[in-house]
Amino acid sequence: MALANRSLVTIDDLSNGEIESLFALADDMHGDMDKQLGLCRGKIMASLFFEPSTRTRLSFETAMHKLGGSVISVVDIKATSLAKDESIADMARVVGSYADIIVVRHPWEGAAKVIADYAGVPVINAGDGGHEHPTQTLCDLYTLKKERHTLKGLRIALWGDLKHGRTIHSLTYALARFGAIIHFRSGQGLELPEYVKRKLETEYTGRLERYENLGNLLKEGHFPIDAIYITPSSPHQLANIPDVSIRVELEKGVEALYVTRLQKERLSTKAGVEELKEDYPVVDKKLLKEKEFAETLVLHPLPRVDELARELDADPRSMYFKQAALGVPVRMALIALLLGAKKTPVTKEDDSFIRKIEHPPCKYVYGVKCPNRNCISRHETKYIKPEFILVCRRPLILRCVYCEHEVSPPYIASSEWHEGVLIHKHYHSADSHWAKKIRAENLIIFNSEKEAESHGFKPSHYAKKRYRINKKKDDS
Amino acid sequence: MALANRSLVTIDDLSNGEIESLFALADDMHGDMDKQLGLCRGKIMASLFFEPSTRTRLSFETAMHKLGGSVISVVDIKATSLAKDESIADMARVVGSYADIIVVRHPWEGAAKVIADYAGVPVINAGDGGHEHPTQTLCDLYTLKKERHTLKGLRIALWGDLKHGRTIHSLTYALARFGAIIHFRSGQGLELPEYVKRKLETEYTGRLERYENLGNLLKEGHFPIDAIYITPSSPHQLANIPDVSIRVELEKGVEALYVTRLQKERLSTKAGVEELKEDYPVVDKKLLKEKEFAETLVLHPLPRVDELARELDADPRSMYFKQAALGVPVRMALIALLLGAKKTPVTKEDDSFIRKIEHPPCKYVYGVKCPNRNCISRHETKYIKPEFILVCRRPLILRCVYCEHEVSPPYIASSEWHEGVLIHKHYHSADSHWAKKIRAENLIIFNSEKEAESHGFKPSHYAKKRYRINKKKDDS
Amino acid sequence: MALANRSLVTIDDLSNGEIESLFALADDMHGDMDKQLGLCRGKIMASLFFEPSTRTRLSFETAMHKLGGSVISVVDIKATSLAKDESIADMARVVGSYADIIVVRHPWEGAAKVIADYAGVPVINAGDGGHEHPTQTLCDLYTLKKERHTLKGLRIALWGDLKHGRTIHSLTYALARFGAIIHFRSGQGLELPEYVKRKLETEYTGRLERYENLGNLLKEGHFPIDAIYITPSSPHQLANIPDVSIRVELEKGVEALYVTRLQKERLSTKAGVEELKEDYPVVDKKLLKEKEFAETLVLHPLPRVDELARELDADPRSMYFKQAALGVPVRMALIALLLGAKKTPVTKEDDSFIRKIEHPPCKYVYGVKCPNRNCISRHETKYIKPEFILVCRRPLILRCVYCEHEVSPPYIASSEWHEGVLIHKHYHSADSHWAKKIRAENLIIFNSEKEAESHGFKPSHYAKKRYRINKKKDDS
């Protein structure tokens, strides 16, 4: 599969084999770092940063310059026409007619997808809100590969703000796909979002064991942990991992410890920041003296605040500055491949750690909005209608195609009535047995009785009862 | 006439023939878009954007990169030394000593002229307040030329914010010069400024017929219109166009519909925005279904807000994204020509649609300021004195050489007294018969009795009377 | 001494000979200004401007482009990750792993030194608060050299805001090193900082005569002056310049007049700006008509406000726009040398105007902070501990190694007690005779009795007395 003309919006846009090939090219680039390559001469990269950033933007721009290309950039939302109510879809189209490739960072989750949908040129997601940051993941993996010589079956701990950390989300998926054992440990109230956990459990082949259930598996003195994610030791193996192997895995310790800062800017209020800090995991000299971390690499996407002590900077296990430096050859390789300036044979890498569940799209959804206020579908309303895929039937769970947050609307119906099969247009409660009975392609979903009725549906017996209960609540 | 080393401040800085030649070069550039040209290697373009912009700035920067040149840019007034009270004339001189060409956008009207006066290198106006935006006009015309194969005698409607829309002003002049028939339709209170109308009537060869006078010419069902501007069908023809041909023109409909958004940022207060929006013309699918728009191209300088419906994006008549894309080759051609990196034979194009009235400069003007608070002459007072040309004798109308707004000072005198011809130094009311009697080169203009008297003039009989009336008003 | 891989943080990082060689290379660059040189092709310059600037940033970026190199830039602190509490040391490391050279402007004094300490690549200080701005000094000197054909023994007046003007500080040191006679004249309250005066008196070979003492040396009608700095007419000569030669120097007038604006943005409050302006020296046509300025060049680092009249712009003595223009070849030469892209034989220039006093570092300093709130050591506390050198024993004066501001802590002790020589660990008042007695390498310095006592020291007899006095004051 050629990478030319494709976009990188989520880490899953690249297969394991493609990632390995990209790293092989990055190795070549790394060897040529002190001379300018003419590979992208005459090509234009638009660097659109609608959120503060130094590191990522400069890393991309450096990469493009080293490839001999040119850069045009927008670095602050206030300095752009977007202030004039312009849609980012329009902006994407226009910039796509100037540039050969677009790199975008945006505070709204799903923004990169929308830009990729409209730009007409390859788009690289350099971070969309708290959603994903796939090129950071490529830098992380590349550093691990350089040090451990393989990406497969890594034992790694992810610490810090697992809720808002987009680098965490992208990295988790990638690690899972390469068969890693992941130890999660978050600050209080900063656990992995439900939708990420569900993806791990439904779309990748592993088993996520939450702390509550780990009690008897943890030996005294084991460092704290929220959850552990275990993938089978060989592809295609089923995920029925026995408790005994979880205990074994826990005892092995980790090869790498990936820490992130508290993403203050993603909190809805500033109240409580101090509390969140109190319980926040910290990596320092004392911690790294523990036997189980003797050979553990320390990674951090930077910038750091207090969760990673300066005293570690000279420690040979500290990888974070190297990680940043390796961002340049990785991004050079990525840009060159997406622009088609370089072709590389894709390793026939087995991607089968991923169960590859393709959730069906929800064709008929009425009145349902993505619950994530930060989702692009809540802002870019002129171009974009909410769109969902059906992740689970019972309980009914839809996933937003833009930001991947989940929503569980209360009512459903079948579209088959209009084929003449059903005499009455009835709608049902989403938690009734109908949720499993109606075929996915016929499923109609409503956010309220009103919505259902405005489409000409009448409540079924069960739905009616629920409606009465709701009404009572409203009246009292 | 060679273009090298010249500036483009208003669209009238280019003759019709020069525009046609520039487009011929843009055609060549367009063919070479995917390779970098070495034409401007080693040249520096300074991109000075003192007002929010994405599109225009990125378009210029893309153009320069594609020519092989380099770009230095300033994208926000707060990030510049101008915050330290520096004059833009000083800034122009300094940047002119670094760069080979300057592209500037500024919120003050006339700023581009001042920068061109001081920089010592070619300057391109990328928008100065609500005044002009000549390169947008070049993109608009180039799109029209590509589609209609000629620029001459186009029938076009200009809709929207005709008052603040600088793209409208530049485009109107250019269209008039190429002999267009223009239908104007604005939102309420957003009509073409008086000074633009006067320019059309006094400097170009056409006839502007206002709506009030069109009543009996408009057939029922004709879409709304404020005014129509008709140029003679052949050069040199006089502008005494009979009513019957206006009626004929109205019935022909338009080949293109140029829409603009409400320029909210130019309104002095935010009060009334909602009202302005209410009556604002909107282009949508329904409108374009009207028979008279069957073959009408839709243009828009972007960004759009609500005046141009998204549902038209896939319509083959929609030209706005193409318009944006064509900005790159047009700007490449312009930059290459002004830098002298490319020479092109100028078509011997007949420019005679313009009557070419050269209004005389006002040599002696005392105490008169430009009435436009947004004019550069009101801000850059250390370098710039107000300067005017004499547009009309009776009523006395001066036009600011920077922003082209008009002012009508109350008193005049003749400078001939000091030649010994006049015994008494008298000043007169500007609406007296003296306004026509005094020769232009001798005309002295005052903004007040006080100013006139401080220059040693005494009131003439008529001026005295007026003075008494004014005094009474002040006393009461 | 090769310049490759070195940083330019203060003007003293370059020897006189290196400055002369750099100018020889700038002459070559100046001759090649209209073509792009391939000298730095493939090299990346990071341009980090954490304070408003147009001129300096654009000048550096122009220089790099003309050398064929590429530029990545950060132009506003709010647009960077630093907003996320990141340390500039971390930022320096990361950017140093992308770029081959870093140019930095920062509002904190000493910031450039910290960045140079951590970046791992050459760093150029483009202004750190009110501290230094060495490349402006290079432009100033280069302009003087072009006009006067030598840098040695210039007679020059420095006017304006001598307190906050970083260009003034850097220029003063450089002029002193080249054996200049400097006439200082500041606005009221804007005199040269004490630490700069002390550097002139202790580290350079000259004599600083303050106005109070000049009374009888100034002839009537001599233009105002605060102080005069006189260096010996030949190297190695002692600085015991007799009054008579000061009188002679004063009468000779100056070859150049260097004016600066009031650095409003460095004032702690806006109160008093109007007062400061009142007494501020102004250079205008009238002044330059004075006989003593007949051949005086006028320099100004720009931007100007009102201290330099526009009416002088066309005067052949006005050098300020030329100065700005010459910044490009000077910076081209500097970048090329630091990157090792060009080597130039260093003139065996005699640097001996500098007495080259190497002040010893203070090894044991407890509780002492730099008194300058704007010093990097007050902000970047996670990485940086306050560090001082010992400038004077009695009175005890320490100089901050970051911003060069001075501090005089109250208590001292000797570290020799722990060698067993002293039986009791006593601390002494810094103004006691012990200040001279304790060897520099043994000197311990405390900011308070409490600090001394917390280190196990007891007060000596004299210190006790002082302590009692202080206590009384606190109690009352």
* Cβ–Cβ below 8 Å for B70 and C75: no
* Cβ–Cβ below 8 Å for B79 and C52: yes
What is the residue-averaged pLDDT of chain A?
A: 87
Comparing A62 with B382, the larger pLDDT belongs to A62
What would the mean pLDDT of C63-87 be, rounded to a whole number?
78
Q: Which residues of B touch A383 (CB under 8 A)?
A: 310
Residue of A nearest to B79 (CA): A79
The answer, yes or no, to whether the previous bond of C303 is cis (omega within 30 of 0) is: yes
Write down which chains contact chain B via at least 3 CB pairs under 8 A: A, C
Instruction: Note which residues in 123-142 of chain B have CB less than 8 A from chain A.
Output: none
Predicted confidence band at A79 (pLDDT cuts at 50, 70, 90)? very low
How far is Cα of residue A26 from the mean position of the Cα atoms in its chain? Answer: 23
**d(CA B444, nearest CA chain A) in Å:** 45
Residue of C nearest to A265 (CA): C84
Parallel, antiparallel or unpaired: strands B297-299 and B364-366 = unpaired
Answer whether residue A224 shows pLDDT above 90.
no
User: C340 and C4 in contact (C-beta within 8 Å)?
Assistant: yes
Q: Is the CB of C383 inside 8 Å of chain A's CB atoms? A: yes
What is the residue-averaged pLDDT of chain B?
A: 87
* Cβ–Cβ below 8 Å for A66 and C382: no
Q: Which residues of A touch B303 (CB under 8 A)?
A: 81, 84-86, 90-91
A376: its two tokens: 């692009």
Q: Among B34, B62, B167, pick the best mutation site for testing chain A contact (most A Cβ within 10 A).
A: B62
Predicted confidence band at B436 (pLDDT cuts at 50, 70, 90)? confident
Task: Give the model's pLDDT for residue A201.
Answer: 85
Answer whether residue C79 shows pLDDT above 50.
no
Q: Is the CB of B52 inside 8 Å of chain A's CB atoms? A: yes
- What is the three-state SS of chain C? CCCCCCCECCHHHCCHHHHHHHHHHHHHHHHCCCCCCCCCCCCEEEEEECCCCCHHHHHHHHHHHHCCCEEEEECCHHHCHHHHCCCHHHHHHHHHHHCCEEEEEECCECHHHHHHHHHCCCEEEEEECCCCCHHHHHHHHHHHHHHHCCCCCCEEEEEECCCCCHHHHHHHHHHHHCCCEEEEEECCCCCCCHHHHHHHHHHECCEEEEHHHCHHHCCCCCCCCCEEEECCCCCCCCCCCCHHHHHHHHHHCCCEEEECCCCHHHCCCCCCHHHHHHCCCCECHHHHHCHHHCCCEEECCCCCCCCECHHHCCCCCECHHHHHHHHHHHHHHHHHHHCCCCCCCCCCCCCCCECCCCCCECCEEECCCCCCCCEHHHHCCCCCCCCEEEEECCCCEEEECCCCCEECCCEEEEHHHHHCCCCCCEEEECCCCHHHHCCHHHEEEECCHHHHHHCCCEECHHHHHHHHHHHHHHHC
What is the Cα–Cα distance from B338 to B319, expressed in whole angstroms? 28
At residue B413, the 3 state secondary structure works out as: strand
Of B42, B72, B97, the CB nearest to C61: B72
* Cβ–Cβ below 8 Å for C78 and A76: yes
What would the mean pLDDT of C42-71 be, rounded to a whole number?
94
Answer whether residue A111 shows pLDDT above 70.
yes
- Judge residue B340's burial from the number of C-beta atoms within 10 Å of its C-beta, 0-12 exposed, 13-18 middle, 19 or more buried: middle
Q: Is the CB of C302 inside 8 Å of chain B's CB atoms? A: yes
Q: Is the CB of C61 inside 8 Å of chain B's CB atoms? A: yes
What would the mean pLDDT of A299-325 be, rounded to a whole number?
95
Q: Among A84, A114, A117, pick the best mutation site for testing chain B contact (most B Cβ within 10 A).
A: A84
Task: Give the model's pLDDT for residue A371.
Answer: 96
Write the pLDDT tens digit of every residue in C327-382: 999 999 999 999 999 988 876 656 656 666 789 999 999 999 999 999 999 998 88
Write down which chains contact chain C via at least 3 CB pairs under 8 A: A, B
Predicted confidence band at A471 (pLDDT cuts at 50, 70, 90)? low
What would the mean pLDDT of B191-212 be, rounded to a whole number?
86
Q: Which DSSP string corresponds to B2-26?
A: --TT--BSSGGGS-HHHHHHHHHHH
Q: Is the CB of A78 inside 8 Å of chain B's CB atoms? A: yes
Q: Which residues of A touch C91 (CB under 8 A)?
A: 54, 303
Comparing C95 with A352, the larger pLDDT belongs to C95
* Cβ–Cβ below 8 Å for A265 and C84: yes
**d(CA C105, nearest CA chain A) in Å:** 15
Write the pLDDT tens digit of every residue in B368-377: 999 999 999 9
**d(CA B358, nearest CA chain C) in Å:** 30
Predicted confidence band at C221 (pLDDT cuts at 50, 70, 90)? low
* Cβ–Cβ below 8 Å for A84 and B52: yes
**d(CA B3, nearest CA chain C) in Å:** 19
What is the Cα–Cα distance from A458 to A452, expressed in whole angstroms? 7
Task: Give the model's pLDDT for residue A413.
Answer: 93
pLDDT-above-90 percentage for chain A = 63
Write the pLDDT tens digit of every residue in A142-155: 999 999 999 998 99
Answer whether residue C387 shows pLDDT above 70.
yes
Q: Is the CB of C78 inside 8 Å of chain A's CB atoms? A: yes
Task: Give the model's pLDDT for residue B85.
Answer: 66
Predicted confidence band at C14 (pLDDT cuts at 50, 70, 90)? very high
pLDDT-above-90 percentage for chain C = 63
* Cβ–Cβ below 8 Å for A98 and B328: yes
**d(CA C210, nearest CA chain B) in Å:** 31
Q: Among A45, A60, A65, A262, pick the best mutation site for testing chain C contact (most C Cβ within 10 A).
A: A65
Predicted confidence band at C7 (pLDDT cuts at 50, 70, 90)? very high
Q: Is the CB of B277 inside 8 Å of chain A's CB atoms? A: no
Of C34, C75, C310, the CB nearest to B79: C75
Answer whether residue A215 shows pLDDT above 80.
no
Of A42, A72, A98, the CB nearest to B36: A42
Write the pLDDT tens digit of every residue in C148-205: 999 998 999 999 999 999 999 999 999 999 989 999 999 888 999 999 999 988 888 7
What is the residue-averaged pLDDT of chain C?
A: 87
Q: Is the CB of C78 inside 8 Å of chain B's CB atoms? A: no
Least reliable range by pLDDT among B367-381, C112-126, C255-269: C255-269
Least reliable range by pLDDT among A41-50, A60-69, C421-430: C421-430
Q: Is the CB of C90 inside 8 Å of chain A's CB atoms? A: yes
Q: Is the CB of B117 inside 8 Å of chain C's CB atoms? A: no
User: A19 and A141 in contact (C-beta within 8 Å)?
Assistant: yes
Q: Is the CB of C324 inside 8 Å of chain B's CB atoms? A: yes
Q: Which residues of A touch B75 (CB under 8 A)?
A: 75-76, 79
Predicted confidence band at C237 (pLDDT cuts at 50, 70, 90)? low
Q: Is the CB of A97 inside 8 Å of chain B's CB atoms? A: yes
pLDDT-above-70 percentage for chain B = 86
B229: its two tokens: 């501007």
Q: Is the CB of C38 inside 8 Å of chain B's CB atoms? A: no
Q: Is the CB of B439 inside 8 Å of chain A's CB atoms? A: no
Least reliable range by pLDDT among A148-162, A401-415, B227-241: B227-241
Q: Is the CB of A325 inside 8 Å of chain C's CB atoms? A: yes
Q: Is the CB of A32 inside 8 Å of chain C's CB atoms? A: no
Least reliable range by pLDDT among A223-227, A364-368, C21-25: A223-227
Q: Is the CB of C218 inside 8 Å of chain A's CB atoms? A: no
Q: Which residues of A touch C93 (CB under 8 A)?
A: 321, 324
Q: Which residues of B touch C332 (CB under 8 A)?
A: none
**d(CA C367, nearest CA chain A) in Å:** 21
Q: Is the CB of A53 inside 8 Å of chain C's CB atoms? A: yes
Answer whether residue B79 shows pLDDT above 50.
no
Q: Is the CB of B304 inside 8 Å of chain A's CB atoms? A: yes
Task: Give the model's pLDDT for residue B228.
Answer: 86
